[in-house]
Chain A
Amino acid sequence: MDEIDSIDERTIATLTNWCGLSLSDDRVKGLIPAGRRLRHAAQWLSRLDLDATEPACTFDPRIAE
């Protein structure tokens, strides 16, 4: 469980809520490095100075226009 403890609560919640994965499932263990990398990316994003006017566009198909 040391490894499980090393990932954040949100990731554990996602793993267990999504598709009913159990913390003892080998598939969860395989996802721990991913959880860490994503947490790092998320932490970096949270520190960004995203201008309040920056559009929260989830899909901008015509970036060149």
Chain B
Amino acid sequence: MTPDELAYFSLDELGRAYLTGGLSPVEVTEAMLARIERLNPRINAFLKITADEARKQARSAETEIRAGEWRGPLHGVPVSVKDLFFTRGVETTGGSPIYRNFVPDFDSTVVARLKAAGAVLLGKTHLHELAYGITNDNPHYGPCLNPWDRTRIPGGSSGGSAAAVSAGLSFASFGTDTGGSIRIPASYCGVTGLKPTYGRISRYGVIPLSVNLDHVGPFARTVKDAAVAAEIVAGSDKNDPSSLRAACPSWAENLESSIRGWRIGAVRGAFIGALHPEIAQAMANAEFELERAGAALEEIEIPDATEIGEIAHLLQMADGAAVYHRRIIEQPEAFSEDVRILIEQGHLVSAVDYINAQRFRRQFQKKLRALFRRLKAMILPATPIPAPLLGQREIELAGAPEDVGIASTRLVRPFNFAGVPVLTVPCGITNTGLPFGMQIVTRAADELTGLSLGHVYQERTQWHTRRPTDCY
């Protein structure tokens, strides 16, 4: 086994190797740090590498596992978190100069739970400035590049986490998703990403963008690994008032192996809009594969299709403006132009519109609930395009120009508005070698159904096993 093969082990394989003594956490951590040293300069997936701390955590895990004190499937496993999560004693920048040199004196709940599970924290991953954008073309820390094609963006804002998992620099990574920031980079980097139900994973100690729309979730290479990573950090948190009180079931252990008879809605119509032709074909192939697995596919339309995104964006802009109101007045020069304009836009939202957007949100949630009375899940593309070029502002779809930011977010943002769980799994690769993903949407608090559907899909397809060739 080469270090490159080791870097793409599943959590199951790694755990078994630790328990049988075939591999040790120190050995694996050293291999991952060596890969990061070799590959990170090419893609800039990590803003900070915490090598000394990682080695210390690996040694501790190794001692415990050898003593028969295995803590579970993340024990001794090298992982990473977006540089938006507070890490005690480690600088947390949010990808912005306004947090440069900010060293939290406590861990975010996610980091605390990862440490309690015995995970090895390799470092903090790259993000779009303040998690407010989809390119990860960060003027303060340099751009993060897509491991599949370094002339392209990884997607954002959690692009560093997706790139790290895709490039075999981390077995799992945690990001945030306010308007697609997990699902867009999962699609563009060809990895699995989960935006769980709103409130399912604590946001305590995570630099906020929108109190209404921020979600925390994992990236991994398989659905099963994503389920393992998510359930370790999920669950109620007294420090987060938005935390769900409902018990969090064990997802990985309860993944279903059959979807026979499941009624699945394939989203059509105005909500989908124009698609890259290879993505349209890949979605048709995915639908066919799910039908072969025994599911009953039904074409559906999502109500209020063309307006939801704008209304959700209205909320996000106002929330973001509230978070950075003082900073934007006192230090406008500390923000890059794209982020500053978004924050300034947020000041244009009236209180009446904001409140009516919230009221509409409840209506939209009710309409989705009605759809889920007859459907187990809905499927649709994660992005209508594969990864755009770095610096590209417009793409052409169906003969018409479309803004890259709007194209990247229009299929994902509505589900932040609804708060329902959405899994993204790789579902194809273009002729030019760029991956893209499919979203699986389920009713609130039912991550298990989406994870099971994604797991069955991955058992029948190979897209999630494809690797960027530049990373060997």
Judged by DSSP, the binding face of A is helix
Within 8 A of B (CB), among A33-65: 34-35, 37-38, 40-42, 44-46, 48, 50-51, 54-65
Q: Quick one: which of A14, A50, A56 contacts B363, CB cutoff 8 A?
A: A50
Known: A18-B347, A61-B241, A64-B419. A38 touches B353 (CB 8 A): yes
Of all chain A residues, which has the CB nearest B241? Answer: A61
Q: Which of A19, A42, A55, A56: most chain B Cβ within 10 A?
A: A42
Chain A residues near B345 (CB-CB < 8 A): 31, 34-35, 38
Q: Please tell me if the beta carbons of B356 and A48 are within 8 angstroms of each other in the complex.
A: yes
Q: Please tell me if the beta carbons of B307 and A41 are within 8 angstroms of each other in the complex.
A: yes
Known: A45-B353, A56-B355, A57-B358. A62 touches B348 (CB 8 A): no
Expressed in whole angstroms, the Cα–Cα distance for A42 and B354 within the complex equals 9
Chain A residues near B349 (CB-CB < 8 A): 38
Contact digits for B339-363, partner A, Cβ 8 Å, 1 yes 0 no: 0010011011110011111111111
By the criterion of a CB under 8 Å from any partner CB, how many residues of chain A are at the interface?
A: 34
Expressed in whole angstroms, the Cα–Cα distance for A64 and B197 within the complex equals 8
Of all chain A residues, which has the CB nearest B311? Answer: A41
Expressed in whole angstroms, the Cα–Cα distance for A10 and B310 within the complex equals 18
Chain B residues near A37 (CB-CB < 8 A): 310, 313
Expressed in whole angstroms, the Cα–Cα distance for A37 and B211 within the complex equals 22
Q: Please tell me if the beta carbons of A34 and B341 are within 8 angstroms of each other in the complex.
A: yes
Q: Is B138 an interface residue (CB 8 A)?
A: no
Q: Please tell me if the beta carbons of B348 and A14 are within 8 angstroms of each other in the complex.
A: yes
Q: Quick one: which of A31, A51, A56 contacts B348, CB cutoff 8 A?
A: A31
Q: Quick one: which of A55, A61, A64, A65 contacts B359, CB cutoff 8 A?
A: A55
Q: Is B50 an interface residue (CB 8 A)?
A: no
Listed in ascending order, the chain B residues whose CB lies under 8 Å from chain A are 197-199, 211-212, 241-246, 307, 310-311, 313-314, 317, 328-329, 337, 341, 344-345, 347-350, 353-363, 365, 419, 444-445
